[in-house]
Structure 1
Amino acid sequence: MTPPLSPSSSILIVGAGTWGCSTALHLARRGYTNVTVLDPHPVPSPIAAGNDVNKIMEHKELKGHKIDAKSVAFATFTRAALGGWTEDPVFKPYFHETGFIFSASAPELIEHVKEEEIDVYEGDFTALKTAEDFRKTMPPGVLTGDFPGWKGWFNRKGAGWIHARKAMMSSYAEAQRLGVKFITGTPQGSVVALVYENEDVIGAQTADQTVHRADHTILAAGAGSDRLLDFKKQLRPTAWTLSHIRMTPEEAQQYRNLPVLFNIAKGFFMEPDEDKHELKICDEHPGYCNFIPDSRYPGRKGIPLEAEARAREFLRDTMPHLAGRPFAFARICWDADTPDRAFLIDRHPDHPSLLVAVGGSGNGAMQMPTIGGFISDALEGKLSKNVKDVVRWRPETAVDRDWNSTQDRFGGPNELMNFQNIKDDEWTEISTEH
C-alpha cells in the first residue's frame, strides 16, 4: 500500500542535480515542509549533467499522424517546460528563444529528419537547401563553411537554449528559501545505500554512517542511480562529449542570440556564454559506455582524441575559421538511457515508499522548470494517465536488452562506443575544470 502523504511528511530526495533541485522546489511550493536533499557534491555538482553553460530547449506540437503514446507524453513534458521557461520567474531569465536548426548531411539522414522531426510536427519551418541558406540564419562572418551536402529546417518559435547551470542554481536557491534542507558534500551527503525495513525503503545511509529516515524517498541520482537500486536493466549510463572554444569579448558579441545549429550525425553548437565567452561544441554520436563496473577510465584528461576530431570536423563544415582554435575546456557528460528513451517516474512496485525519477535519456535538462511538478504528481498519485502509462516502472521493456543499441542516434562510427577501448594516450589534455 502507498504510505500516507501530508504536508508534514518527511521526504528525502537522493540527488541534487537538475531533477532533484526541480523536485525540491515544486514540493516546497506545494507546501511540503520537511524536504531534505542529499548529494555527494555541493550544488552545482561537477558530475551533474545539468552543470553546463547551455542545453537545447525545443518544443513542437504534434500534427496528428504518426503519433504514439511516447510522443504524446514527451510533448506534454516539453509543452509544460516551455511554459516554465517563459513564465516562471525562477527560470525565465535563463531561456533564450533563439530558434533551432535541425539538419543532416547524408541523404538517408536528411530523409529521416524530414519524416521523423519535421513532418510529424506543427511549426513554421523554413527549409535550408544551400550553404547560403544556412549562412543567412546568422550574422555575417559566423557561418563561413561550405556545408557539404547539408539540408536543414529552421524553427524560430518555442526553441533555443537554456543556461542550465544558472537555472539549476536558481531553483536550488529558491528551494532553500522555501525551507528545503540540502545536505551536500562527502561524506555527509554521499548516499552509499538505500535503507530497507519490512521490505520497504525507509530512507538512505550516507558515507558518514548516518541513516536519514523518511516517510517517502525519491531516487533522482541520474546516471548513478543504478548503483543504489536494481533497475532490472532499465537504465544504461551513457556518456557524451563536449568542448568549449574561448572567444574574445568582441566575438562573443558578434555571436549573440544565435539559433542552435544541430546536425543529427555531426554535432551542434550554441552561442558563447556571457561570463567566460566560451562557445560550446558537441560532437554527435550514439554515446560512450563503461561496461566494466567500478573500473577506472582515464577520462580526467578531457575527452577522447576521436571526439575532439569529430568536433573539429563539424567546425570545418560550419565555421572553418574556428576549426583550428584550441579547446579551453572539455568534459564527459553522463545521462541514463531507458530502453525506449522515455522517462522513468514511478513508485517502485515492491517498495511503496520509494519513488524513482530517472532516465533523462538525453532530454532531461530542458525539463527543469516543470519536471519536479510531474515527479510531485507521481508522489501524490496524480500523474495524468497519458503520462503515467509511458513513464511507469516497466522492466518488460528491458528483457534481453541490447546494451549496444544506438537508441536511434547517429554520428561518429554509428555505434555505441566503449571507454575501455580508449587507451591512456588517446585522451586529450584539455582542462576539465570550469
Structure 2
Amino acid sequence: MTYTPPTPGSKIIIVGGGAFGLSTAYALSLKKYNVWVFDRNIIPSADASSTDINKCVRMDYGEDLLSMQLTMEALPHWHQWNKERNEMGLSPVFHQTGSLLLCKGNKLSDYERSSMKHVREAGYGHTIQEFQTPESIIKQFPQFKDAVNNGYRTAYLNTAAGLSSVVAIVVDGKERGWCDSSETIKHLYKKCMDHGVQFVTGSDRGAFEKFIFKNDQQEVQGIQTRDQIKHLADHVILAAGPWTASLLDFGNRLQATGQAVIQFTPPKEFVEKFKNAPVYGGDISRTGFYGFPINAEGKMKIASHSVGYVYYDSNRSDHICVPRTQVSHEKDTIPLKGLNNFRDFLNEFMPETNDWDITYSRVCWYSDTPDGKFLIAPYPNYKNLIIASGDSGHAMKFTPNIGFKIAQIVEGVESDYSRAWAWRDYKDDAMSSSDGTRNITSKPLTLGVGEARMASLDELKARK
C-alpha cells in the first residue's frame, strides 16, 4: 500500500511514551505538527525498559556501522542535554565514564576487534586504548584484578562511551539532585511539553484499545482508548515498546523478550575500591554480561544481553508473547536459570559478589526483531500508520536523536536508516544479534516454567 506523508500542521497521535515515542514527539513538535501522546501509565512508566537506574551509551557495534554512526550523532545531543540540566541546577543525564571491554584468553574476540577498527576509521581512534597484557589492565583498573587472574587477559577502553546513569553534580559544594535513565525520559518529557506536545495518560483514558478505521478498514483515522473515547488523527505512530507485537499482526517480525537484571548494594570497602570504574563487559559477545559503576545511592547493576525469556498470557488465545512486569506481578524476581547464570559468571569475573545478597532484580523487556535491527516503517496493510519499534535492547542510547530519524520516515524521507529499518520478511524465527553483543545460541525459555520459574527471595541471597 502506498504511503502518503502528513501535510504540515497535521494531527499525529503517538501510542507510547517511552524512548521512541517521546523522542519522535519532540522531533515532530519542532516541525509544528499537532502531536498527541497516549500512554497507559504516567511518564516515566513504571514498567518501561527505560525506567531503570542506568543504561549503556556506546559506539562499539562490531559490524553494525549504522548504529555506531547513530551513537556518534547522539553524543553531542547528550552533552547538550547535560548543559540544559546544569542550567536548571539538575544532575547530568549522561556520564562519560568510558567503556571497558574485557575478553577471555590472549586476544580480543571478533566483535571487539571489529568495533575498534570501525571506530578508528570513523575518526574516533583517539578514544581507543588497548590493553594487550594482563598487567596493563590491572595497572589502570585494579578493580578487575580477579577477572584478569581468572582469564580475562585482554581488553580495550573506549573513553567516549559512558552511561545514562545515577550521578551527582556538585554545585557550590553541595549535591544538587540525582538522575538516572528514568531522568532522561523526564527531561525529554519536559522538552515535549515546552514545545506543545499534548499528553493523555492513565489506565483508561490513555490506554490504547484499538484503531479507528474508515469504512474500507484500510485507512487508520485514529485510536480508541480503554474508556471508549475515540481520538481522531491524520496519522498514528505505534511506539508501544515490547507491547507493540501484541497490538497488531506482525507475523514473526516482532517479539517481546525479557532479560534478567540484578542489583547489589556492595559493602563500603568495595564501593571505595570500585570508585571511578567504567561501564564494563565480561567477554560480552560470548557471555552477554555487562555491568555499571556503583551509583550515587550505592547500587551496582549487572545485566545480561541474551536470547532472554518469553511469556504467554493465559487470557490470550493468539499465542503472542507479552511482557510480564512487576506492575502486574509485583512479587516477580528473575528466572532461576538467569540467577544461576549470573552467579556462575560473577563467581569467575567478580568473586566478591558470592558473599552478597542480590538486593533487587527484574525482567527488562525488549521488543525484538529476528535480526536485531529496528522496525521503523509504514505498516503495509493500513494507510496512515507508522510502526516505531524493534528496539532489540539497544535503543536507549539513541533517545536524544532517534526521534529525528523517525520523523524523517514519517515524512517519507529516504535514507540509510529508513532502508535498514524498513518493513521486511524473515525466513524463520531464528534470532541473531546485529551488534555482536548478544549471546544467542538457543530459543528463549518460557517464563515461569521449569528452570525459568521465578527465583525466590531466599535464592537471591548470597551463595553459601
Q: TM-score range by the shorter chain?
A: 0.7 to 0.9
State whether residues 60 and 68 of structure 2, in contact with CA within 8 Å, keep that contact through their aligned partners in structure 1. yes
Q: Give distance in 2, aligned partners of 1:336 and 1:428.
A: 24
Tell me which amino acid in the other structure corresponds to 1:179. Answer: G
Partner residue in 1 for 2:385: 354
Q: 1:202 to 1:248 in 2, by over 3 A?
A: farther
Gaps of 5+ in 1: none
Residue 270 of structure 1 is aligned with which of 285, 289, 292?
A: 292
Q: Which of 114-123 and 329-338 deviates more?
A: 114-123
Tell me which amino acid in the other structure corresponds to 2:156. Answer: F
State whether residues 194 and 204 of structure 1, in contact with CA within 8 Å, keep that contact through their aligned partners in structure 2. yes
Cα shift at 1:142: 6.4
Partner residue in 2 for 1:37: 37
Partner residue in 2 for 1:422: 449
Residue 218 of structure 1 is aligned with which of 237, 244, 269?
A: 237
Partner residue in 2 for 1:75: 68
Superposition map of 1:112-261 within 5 A: 112-122=110-120, 123=125, 124-138=127-141, 140=142, 143-163=145-165, 164-197=181-214, 198=216, 199-247=218-266, 252=271, 255-261=274-280
Tell me which amino acid in the other structure corresponds to 1:368. Answer: T
Cα shift at 1:143: 4.9
Cα shift at 1:237: 1.6
State whether residues 406 and 415 of structure 1, in contact with CA within 8 Å, keep that contact through their aligned partners in structure 2. no
Q: Which of 190-199 and 122-131 deviates more?
A: 122-131
Residue 388 of structure 1 is aligned with which of 376, 399, 418?
A: 418
Q: 1:48 to 1:420 in 2, by over 3 A?
A: closer
Q: 1:82 to 1:421 in 2, by over 3 A?
A: same
Cα shift at 1:420: 4.5
Count of aligned residue pairs for this structure pair = 415
State whether residues 345 and 357 of structure 1, in contact with CA within 8 Å, keep that contact through their aligned partners in structure 2. yes
Partner residue in 2 for 1:366: 397
Tell me which amino acid in the other structure corresponds to 2:340. Answer: A
Q: 1:146 to 1:409 in 2, by over 3 A?
A: closer
Superposition map of 1:46-57 within 5 A: 46-57=46-57
Q: Secondary structure at the match of 1:301?
A: coil
Q: Deviations over 1:102-147 (max 9, x none)?
A: 233268x943334443344413533334554433343x55654454
Q: 1:117 to 1:286 in 2, by over 3 A?
A: farther
| Root-mean-square deviation (Å) | 3.0
Q: Give distance in 2, aligned partners of 1:4 and 1:268.
A: 41
Superposition map of 1:278-357 within 5 A: 278-290=299-311, 292-293=319-320, 300-357=331-388
Q: 1:174 to 1:423 in 2, by over 3 A?
A: same
What's the TM-score once normalised by structure 1's chain length? 0.85
Q: Give distance in 1, aligned partners of 2:343 and 2:137.
A: 18
Q: Give distance in 1, aligned partners of 2:320 and 2:245.
A: 11
Q: 1:137 to 1:191 in 2, by over 3 A?
A: farther
Q: Which of 416-425 and 22-31 deviates more?
A: 416-425
Residue 85 of structure 1 is aligned with which of 78, 87, 102?
A: 78
Q: Which of 192-201 and 353-362 deviates more?
A: 192-201
Tell me which amino acid in the other structure corresponds to 1:158. Answer: A
Q: Give distance in 1, aligned partners of 2:193 and 2:323.
A: 35
Q: Give distance in 1, aligned partners of 2:29 and 2:233.
A: 16
Tell me which amino acid in the other structure corresponds to 1:392. Answer: A
Q: Give distance in 1, aligned partners of 2:438 and 2:404.
A: 32
Q: 1:152 to 1:214 in 2, by over 3 A?
A: farther
Q: Give distance in 1, aligned partners of 2:231 and 2:451.
A: 40
Q: Give distance in 1, aligned partners of 2:442 and 2:226.
A: 37
State whether residues 247 and 278 of structure 1, in contact with CA within 8 Å, keep that contact through their aligned partners in structure 2. yes
Q: Give distance in 2, aligned partners of 1:52 and 1:152.
A: 30
Q: 1:212 to 1:91 in 2, by over 3 A?
A: farther
